[in-house]
């Protein structure tokens, strides 16, 4: 499908980008090529093919949720750059 210069300028206006004359011509050729690929896909016979979001079956592999003891607070806070009163101290995000 060959796009016209006006088609490319319309897409550029929708994307809110400015294009030079050289860019318009280059993108016209590139976008036309991309649309040709979609035309080839549209020609494929998909009758009887179920719609799918993924070609392979997906399954979540989850480990059992086992309660285990935590690290001691002092050991954890020893790795913190700043600690105060048994908590992590962080810089204020909003002042």
Select from 39, 29, 31 the least CA-distant residue to 11: 31
CATH fold of 5-42 reads Histone, subunit A (1.10.20)
Is this structure's pTM higher than 0.85? no
Q: How far apart are CA 37 and CA 24, in angstroms?
A: 20
- At 37 the pLDDT is 93
pLDDT at 95 > cutoff 80: no
Over residues 22-35, mean pLDDT: 94
pLDDT tens for 47-82 read: 988 888 888 888 888 889 999 999 999 999 998 999
Over residues 1-26, mean pLDDT: 93
- At 91 the pLDDT is 84
């Amino acid at each position: 499908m060959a796009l016209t210069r006006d088609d490319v300028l319309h897409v550029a206006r929708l994307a809110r980008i400015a294009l030079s004359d050289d860019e318009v011509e280059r993108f016209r050729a590139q976008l036309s090529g991309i649309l040709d690929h979609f035309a080839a896909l549209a020609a494929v016979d998909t009758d009887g093919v179920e719609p799918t979001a993924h070609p392979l079956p997906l399954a979540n592999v989850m480990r059992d949720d086992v309660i285990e003891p935590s690290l001691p607070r002092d050991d954890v806070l020893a790795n913190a750059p700043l600690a105060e009163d048994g908590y992590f101290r962080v810089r204020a995000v909003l002042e």
